[in-house]
Amino acid sequence: MIKATKKWIFLKVSGALLVPLMIWFVINFIAIYDQNFEIVVNFYNEPFSKFLFSIFIVNAYFFSALSISEVFEDYIKNYKKKNVANRFLFVSSVVIPLITIILLTLL
């Protein structure tokens, strides 16, 4: 399979998975928005909420990294700059969700 086809399939699958996760997150965010600190911490301490939020964060960064890399491919003509930008993007799309999940588990 061609690399571009794989990217396209990953974009479509991660985008489709992102929709229900975003709905879940927005509904729960509205529910805990005006609550006190203990209720918010209790929400994120529930294993199901931790799991879904972790999947949401990883999927959101994966989707955004794939989308932004397509912009780099289209608009950055210099191969070295494009390569550095893509590498930085993919490293940050792994490190930031990992830090978020680690900090979430420490709550």
- DSSP of the chain, one letter per residue? --HHHHHHHHHHHHHHHHHHHHHHHHHHHHHHTTS-HHHHHHHHHSHHHHHHHHHHHHHHHHHHHHHHHHHHHHH---HHHHHHHHHHHHHHHHHHHHHHHHHHHT-
pLDDT at position 1 over 80: no
- Residue 8 — pLDDT band, cuts 50, 70, 90? confident
Q: Please give the tally of structural domains in the chain.
A: 1
Q: What is the pLDDT of residue 19?
A: 95
Domain membership of residue 76 as a residue range: 3-105
User: The domain spanning residue 86 has which CATH number?
Assistant: 1.20.1300.10
Predicted local confidence at residue 48, as pLDDT: 93
pLDDT tens, position by position, 28-84: 999 988 889 898 888 888 999 989 999 999 999 999 999 999 899 889 899 999 999
